[in-house]
Amino acid sequence: MDNPLHPFELHPLVQITLFGVDISLNKAVLMMWVVISLVAGLLILAGTSRRLVPTKLQSLAELLVDFIRGIILDTMGKEGMRFFPFIATLFLFILFCNLLGLIPGAYTVTSQIVVTAAFALFVYSMSVALGFSLHGLKFLGILVPPGTPAWLLPLMVPIELISQLARPLSLAVRLFANMTAGHTVLAVLFGMALSLPLLIGWLPFAFTIAINGLEVFIAFIQAYIFSVLTCVYLGDAITLHGHGDAHAH
């Protein structure tokens, strides 16, 4: 039986070396190009004819815009709207990477921790840079939860520091682990279906179909979570609460 982790392996398709740096083309790079051109193409197409009674594509785009706007207004409020292009790009890129990866033979870019970690680190450094540029050194106040007595500071500051540093890690690992786990399960079940006789083999095959449906759902949820948390972290940097998660609905 094939190694269930085989679909995650990457082999260069075209060997390119530039100034000693290996920038070979592989499946993941091609998938990212496909995703970018697909997202850009669809949205540009949807935006060309702005009709009062929208076409199918236009109403889908409007729903998306409305959805992302809802996320931003919920977590950051009105002033967060200047991050709309960034959040929308992030959401759509991750969503399409996740969804297109489900097509047999395609590659799930988000199952590479390099990709998710790059996103997570970028988002987190952006929130830290935003915090420092808005509040200066007062931004370090997020390491001290409000109402901490002075004698608890030596304990609370390391804890808060760890909880801050855990943010990029949990962002990266969550997306990567969910996509990898889902595809591994699919690969294992499909391997079982192929290696068993038809009499029992149809059962794991039926499961692969069911789990494929679940994966579509997970692809959406993971893209949603990633963008919500990006908003929450950026919102923390704006409002300087340190735990903006806590503001009630």
Could you give the CA distance from residue 122 to residue 198 in angstroms, rounded to a whole number? 48
Taking the complex as a whole, how short is the minimal distance between the CB of residue 138 and another protein, in angstroms? 21
| CB contact set of 230 (below 8 Å; sequence gap of 6+) | 87, 90, 123, 171
Cβ 183 vs Cβ 110: under 8 Å: no
Per CB under 8 A, the list member of 34, 89, 220, 240 interacting with another protein is 220
Q: Which CB, 29 or 156, lies closer to another protein?
A: 156
Q: Is 52 in the site for another protein (CB under 8 A)?
A: no
Q: Is 186 in the site for another protein (CB under 8 A)?
A: no
Could you give the CA distance from residue 196 to residue 200 in angstroms, rounded to a whole number? 6
Q: Which CB, 111 or 193, lies closer to another protein?
A: 111
Closest CA to 24 of 15, 32, 33: 15
Q: Is 246 in the site for another protein (CB under 8 A)?
A: yes
Give 116's Cβ-side CA count (13 Å radius): 28
Could you give the CA distance from residue 190 to residue 184 in angstroms, rounded to a whole number? 10
C-alpha distances in Å from residue 9, one per residue of 23, 26, 36, 195: 16, 10, 22, 22
84: tokens are 């709309």
Taking the complex as a whole, how short is the minimal distance between the CB of residue 12 and another protein, in angstroms? 31
Q: Among 21-29, 41-49, 171-179, 182-190, which window interacts with another protein (CB under 8 A)?
A: 171-179
Taking the complex as a whole, how short is the minimal distance between the CB of residue 167 and another protein, in angstroms? 8
Could you give the CA distance from residue 175 to residue 221 in angstroms, rounded to a whole number? 10
Instruction: Say which amino acid occupies 153.
Output: L
Q: Give the x/- contact pattern for another protein in 9-48, rule: CB under 8 A.
A: ----------------------------------------
Per CB under 8 A, the list member of 41, 47, 70, 85 interacting with another protein is 70
Cβ 110 vs Cβ 223: under 8 Å: no
Per CB under 8 A, the list member of 45, 166, 206, 209 interacting with another protein is 166
Taking the complex as a whole, how short is the minimal distance between the CB of residue 21 and another protein, in angstroms? 28
What φ, ψ does residue 41 adopt, rounded to 5°?
A: -60, -50
Could you give the CA distance from residue 85 to residue 105 in angstroms, rounded to a whole number? 31
Taking the complex as a whole, how short is the minimal distance between the CB of residue 75 and another protein, in angstroms? 8
Q: Which CB, 28 or 231, lies closer to another protein?
A: 231
Taking the complex as a whole, how short is the minimal distance between the CB of residue 149 and another protein, in angstroms? 17
Residue ranges that bind another protein, judged by CB under 8 A: 53-56, 59-60, 63-64, 66-67, 70-71, 74, 158-160, 162-163, 165-167, 169-170, 173-174, 177-178, 216-217, 220-222, 224-225, 228-229, 243, 245-249
